[in-house]
Structure 1
């Protein structure tokens, strides 16, 4: 059974089903590495932010047709992969919680430690509600420091008050 499934997934001659977004993402990431292209170069090519472009290339956002086609040319992707960039994804689909990857785990750990503090300050300054992850932007930058370079993450989300009815 598993061999049959692997044949369907990895043998393009035998694959009848449409490629899923996870498989497409793996191919996209492989092409980025093979072509030695930086995410910032791809973001510049489609006139989007670094974070949003990387989000879309990792299967967590939808590209417009012209953006997907431009990425397709830059990464030498076939039509099926280009089409996958335009499909609505299953967002927030980490393989495992808590994440095992050290970088992802640090953010998970950050929320475990600072989550109640973030909530308390947001509620104190804005009232009863949450910060949107939909009407949201994020920027990541490098800050040089003699004691060791720093990672700067800036998140900005619309405040959404809880509704009473």
Structure 2
């Protein structure tokens, strides 16, 4: 089973059971963001966690093995048209250079890891309209000289 077929099976089972990533993650004992990413094929899962996920969704060993497989992290390079994803591209397009400047001013010449990394998505209630709070937490990796 490839990652796309795995994702189709996982997302279909999740929908059929009326589950949310939050509920599943809480029951399985993982982060909802990590769980969604693994189920969408962008991260691999340890074997024990893959079994928990597939047992929870009543899916077979073929799905568990696909969850364990190392992904090839490729995404569409075109600017997305989905409004939410487009807005994230817009944030990086407008503030990317600013973030780079501020991060490098605080830490030095380097990058934020997307490997030693975690992310949270929270809802902040506000009388003027609820807010989305994204927390990106990545280890700083300085560039070396040699």
Measured against the shorter chain, the TM-score band is over 0.9
Q: Which residue of 2 aligns with 1:130?
A: 111
Q: Which has the larger radius of gyration?
A: 1
Render the CA deviation track for 1:10-30: whole Å, top value 9, x for unaligned: xxxxxxxxx211121112111
Partners of 1:97 and 1:64 lie apart in 2 by 31
Partners of 1:146 and 1:56 lie apart in 2 by 34
* Number of matched pairs: 146
Q: Which residue of 1 aligns with 2:72?
A: 90
RMSD of the TM alignment (CA)?
1.2
**5+ long unaligned stretches in structure 2:** none
The answer as to whether partners of 1:137 and 1:155 remain within 8 angstroms in 2 is yes
**5+ long unaligned stretches in structure 1:** 1-18
2:97 counterpart of 1:106:
no
Q: Which residue of 1 aligns with 2:23?
A: 41
Q: Post-superposition, which runs of at least 4 consecutive aligned residues in structure 1 deviate over 6 A?
A: none
The answer as to whether partners of 1:21 and 1:89 remain within 8 angstroms in 2 is yes
The answer as to whether partners of 1:45 and 1:70 remain within 8 angstroms in 2 is no
Partners of 2:27 and 2:71 lie apart in 1 by 22
Give the secondary-structure state (helix, strand or coil) at the position aligned to 2:119: strand
With CA pairs under 8 Å and 6+ residues apart, which has the higher RCO, 1 or 2?
2
TM-score, structure 1 as length reference: 0.84
Q: Which residue of 2 aligns with 1:63?
A: 45
Give the secondary-structure state (helix, strand or coil) at the position aligned to 1:59: coil
Partners of 2:60 and 2:47 lie apart in 1 by 14
